[in-house]
Amino acid sequence: MTKLFTAEHPSPRDTHIHLMGIGGIGVSAFARLLKARGYHVSGCDAQASELTRQLEAEGIAVQLGHDPAHLLAHGSRPAASVLVASEAVSKTHPEVQAALDAGLSVLPRMELLAQLLAASPSIGVIGTHGKTTTSSMIAVALEGAGLDPAAFVGGIVPEFGANARAGQGPFVAEVDESDRRFAQLSCETAVFTNAEDDHVGGNQATYWETVEEQHEGFAQFVSQAKRVLYYADWQGLEGRNLDHLVAGCAEQLSYGISQGCTYRAENLRRDPAGTSFTVTCRGEVLGEARVSLPGHHNAMNALAALAVTHLYGGDFNRAAQALAAFKGPGRRWQHIGELHGAQVVDDYAHNPTKLHAAVQAAQQTGRRVRVIFQPHRYLRTQQSWPRLADALMDADEVMVLDIAAAGETPIEGIHAQLIVDRMSGGGHAGARYWPQRGDVVDYLRRTADQGDIIVTMGAGDVWQLARQLVEPADDPLSPLKEAR
């Protein structure tokens, strides 16, 4: 296996790394980090996207489609010496097979992340929820504190204008448990937000067969870190389960609002725009903090970021100021605009816990909460539709779209109407299934009021509706218009 970032490896300028699936949020971040380190970087993807266009503007060559010819020398570009590909890509794929036949190193994405984590002091953020926001906040706080972090994030961080940051300080990485190889990685500080039953079951190549198996992966990752900082208030991280998940780590630190937390948020003051609180470490006041995002979960994510900054010797007040100005990564409580005075927000929430947190955040604004929800994957909906329905009950109005298949084959009897029927049966008068997305946009354009907050929720393409809502209704050039 090729080892990058080592003294034994040839100069980065002599190394051409080609990345398959470069338009993905994770692989594009790798491309940016590798280019910043001086490597010759190229990539390919099935289709062009905003991300691939941004990479090309940054000087990274992107080819459309997959072809062994991508690995050959072309113009000033040397022949590839390393191919980075997802573990889900078959070894018989023509591009991968050509690399193997040519004696190139084929590097799985998780192995690349492992090498990045090992190359410098590193913070790996794990957990079922909150990884992208917490990783973003840690990077922003470290930068604000003057520690010049590098970062690998599963979303666009507005402060960086990208999903990655090249820096000489600690390396902050979002580590996704949907890839089973994550458990083999090690880092200096593991930030553990929570553990639930997501990315479990079905025939996805990288999913876990059982929750217990997934939790073993979390425990293994934690045991390989120098220290773990875990969210002590998470109901699933308590008693014997907590002991099992974090006991393998030599140094165990906690954050939350409970008595006994190493890092504690006290005197929380909530308002429509966010939460202010006092941060203490082992009873000693570090200072005042604020997060300009509603929802208790965002206050806890910010607390984790400030705890990490303190662990790495950063200036608390400067870090707190940076977080107070932080507006969130893309698709995580992202303010899109207004419609007739109503706030329009987009959020990646797609499982019950995330939906519940997003609804609570919307309620904190004091506005009427109107949700457009797109269920994600048939298997996930089959596993959790009652909990999805229950998580949405506190919203004033819920418009449920068809399930985003994400490549899955439909499952007989699994339909968005299940969620609506359960909500209606539970007494919710404002839940309805909308088969035509354009009708949702028309309806909200007629009925939106300045006292509303409209939140699009889901991991599919529901974000498009949020942008349609804030556009002029008669704009014929809008790229987000869709046929009925």
Binding site listing for ATP? 127-133
CB within 8 A of 413, min separation 6: which ones? Answer: none
Structure tokens at 4: 């990058």
CB within 8 A of 371, min separation 6: which ones? Answer: 359, 362, 392, 395, 397, 398, 399, 454, 455, 456, 457
Helix (H) or strand (E) holding 225: none
Query: Would you tell me how many other CB atoms lie within 10 Å of the CB of residue 283?
Result: 7
Q: Strand 431-433 and strand 342-347: pairing?
A: unpaired
Is the C-alpha dihedral spanning 314, 316, 322, 323 positive or negative? positive
CB within 8 A of 32, min separation 6: which ones? Answer: 55, 58, 60, 162, 163, 164, 166
Strand partners, 152: 164, 173
Helix (H) or strand (E) holding 389: helix 378-391
Structure tokens at 230: 């875990």
Radius of gyration of the chain (CA): 23
Among 420, 414, 336, 410, which residue's Cα sits nearest to residue 373?
A: 420
Asked if 435 contacts 417 with a C-beta cutoff of 8 angstroms, the reply is no
Rounded distance between C-alpha atoms, residue 125 and residue 138, angstroms: 9
Which residues are known binding-site members? 127-133
